[in-house]
Amino acid sequence: MKTDVAIIGAGPAGLLLGHLLRAEGIACVVLERQTGDYVLSRIRAGVLERVTVGLMERLGLDARMKAEGLPHGGFNLADGERLIRIDVAGLTGDSVMVYGQTELTRDLMDAAEPRGLEVIYEAGDVALHAIDSDSPYVTYSKDGVAARIDARIVVGCDGFHGPSRRAIPASVGQVFERVYPFGWLGILADVPPCNHELIYANHERGFALASMRSPTRSRYYIDVPLTEKVEDWSDDRIWDELAVRLGPEAAAQITRGPSIEKSIAPLRSFVFEPMRHGSLLLCGDSAHIVPPTGAKGLNLAASDVHYAVEALVAFFRHGDADAVAGYSAKALARVWKSERFSWSLTKLMHRFPEDGPFERRMQVAELDYIASSEAAQRVIAENYVGLPV
């Protein structure tokens, strides 16, 4: 099989890229090692920046998102009994959209066949070859039969553990990483949210987040040591802990219910440079990971896709090789700004084991400053709603 672009990974980044390239008349094929049902079973975040919403609008795949999504003009930081509201809409003139990543992925998957986007699921043993050349190719197996895709460009949208990043020689790449000493224990339940906007809470017992997927489905998190096991946390124990950490105002509005899903996700900050080597581009988690504080993961992947489409359209339509060569620097400039915001918000709202009374006083002082300073709130709001692409 021959194509212009071979895309590895059929998560939201790979599907979004595939649809955008098809819309521009650029031939592409998407390879995914899992089944479509497995891809949809992965529970992820759902706060969408303008860049992500804009790409779905550009594709004309925004109808369900607009009908079922929840536009949010602000969010809250909590410290003990105080709620500090960040008026995102008032400070930036823009808002975010709460719409589950699973639902966005479903919209992209459902549109693939009608729009002629070829997605090959259950592609095993995926390997990248000759990425240093102008004739890269990808090998894989399907139903026990070996297959090959010849392309001009390969784009890795295959996540942190996929083969794309590993295809770049170790002598070329550089890793920047911070692994955090805690994870987020999440509970998903069909209950109304305790607040119409997200609440990020810093409590002496630890961090908590109150969020939602819809007016009737809530997603809550608490941070726990990495040694904790999810089976040791009953639903009642999680609800009790949330009520303490979120504070009395939020606790009074919590509706308890049985969990649909519970899991513990480790946290890390990770960046791999460069995001392009030869004929290979990296997008999303294959190149960078952010802690979920600030909801940047999917949105960073979407901004990567935005830059990749720009570069590939310039390359295939106008023969502009410089556009592809410049992709990494352009994408990384936004990646590092988002890494900074996610790291700073994580540091502000979590209690780190190595922190002492001084660090705690710094958190209190920072939250006091944010509460009293419109300028500080504006900086947070601009980063939360998403920096320009």
Find the catalytic residue in 140, 221, 327, 384.
Answer: 384
Give the H or E element holding residue 276: strand 276-277
Active site residue 330: no
Whether the CB-CB separation of 162 and 12 falls below 8 Å is answered with: no
Q: Which of 296, 306, 330, 350 is catalytic?
A: 296
CA atoms of 80 and 351, how far apart (whole Å): 13
User: What Cα–Cα distance (Å) separates residue 6 from each residue in 69, 73, 330?
Assistant: 31, 38, 21
Q: How far apart are the first and last CA of the chain?
A: 34
Sole residue written with tokens 């050349």: 133
Is 69 within 8 Å of 49 (Cβ atoms)?
Answer: no
Mind listing the pLDDT tens digit of every residue in the chain (389 residues)?
A: 999 999 999 999 999 999 999 999 999 999 999 999 999 887 677 899 999 999 999 999 999 999 999 999 999 999 877 899 999 999 999 999 999 899 999 999 999 999 999 999 999 999 999 999 999 999 999 999 999 999 999 999 999 999 999 999 999 999 999 999 999 999 999 999 999 999 999 999 999 999 998 899 999 999 999 999 999 999 999 999 999 999 999 999 999 999 999 999 999 999 999 999 999 999 999 999 999 998 899 999 999 999 999 999 999 999 999 999 999 999 999 999 999 999 999 999 999 999 999 999 999 999 999 999 999 999 999 999 999 99
Distance of CA 20 to the CA centre of its chain: 19
From 72, 288, 330, 350, the catalytic residue: 72
> Of how many residues is the chain composed?
389
- Given a contact cutoff of 8 angstroms between Cβ atoms, the answer to whether 50 and 107 are in contact is no
Tracing tokens 């026990």 back to the chain, one arrives at 144
Task: Please identify which of the residues 292, 306, 327, 350 carries the catalytic annotation.
Answer: 292
Return phi, psi of residue 73, to 5°.
Answer: -100, 5
**In degrees, to the nearest 5, what angle opens at C-alpha 65 toward C-alphas 63 and 71?**
125
Active site residue 2: no
Question: Is 296 annotated as catalytic?
Answer: yes
* Placement of tokens 């791999």 in the chain: 272
Rounded Cα–Cα distance for residues 148 and 155 (Å): 15
Q: What are phi and psi of 76, to 5 degrees?
A: -125, 145
Environment class of residue 134 by beta-carbon count within 10 Å: exposed (0-12), middle (13-18) or buried (19+)?
Answer: exposed
User: How far, in Å, CA of 377 to CA of 30, rounded?
Assistant: 41
**Quick one: pLDDT at residue 110?**
97
179-267+352-385 fold? D-Amino Acid Oxidase; Chain A, domain 2 (3.30.9)
Contact 102, 40 (CB under 8 A): yes
Report the alpha-carbon distance of residue 143 to residue 350 in Å, rounded. 47
CA–CA gap between residue 283 and residue 388 (Å, rounded): 18
Sequence ranges of the domains in the chain: 5-70+96-177+268-345, 179-267+352-385
At 43 the pLDDT is 66
d(CA 182, CA 221): 12
Q: Please pick, among 99, 140, 200, 327, the residue that the annotation labels catalytic.
A: 200
The strand pair at 288-289 and 259-273 is best described as antiparallel
Structure tokens at 385: 């709603």
What is d(CA 321, CA 312) in angstroms, rounded to the nearest whole number? 9
In terms of Cβ atoms closer than 10 Å to its own Cβ (0-12, 13-18, 19+), residue 68 is middle
- Nearby residues of 388 by Cβ (< 8 Å), 6 or more positions away: none
Q: What pLDDT sits at residue 81?
A: 73
3-state secondary structure 70-137: EEECCEEEEECCEEEEECHHHHHCCCEEECCHHHHHHHHHHHHCCCCCEEECCCEEEEEECCCCCCCE
Question: Residue 282's Cα: distance from chain center in Å?
Answer: 15
Cα torsion 267, 356, 237, 84: sign: negative
| pLDDT attached to residue 358 | 96
Is 292 an active-site residue?
yes
Which is the CATH superfamily of the domain at 5-70+96-177+268-345?
A: FAD/NAD(P)-binding domain (3.50.50.60)
Residue 299 burial by Cβ neighbours in a 10 Å radius (0-12, 13-18, 19+): buried
Active site residue 350: no
CA distance 345 to 59: 32
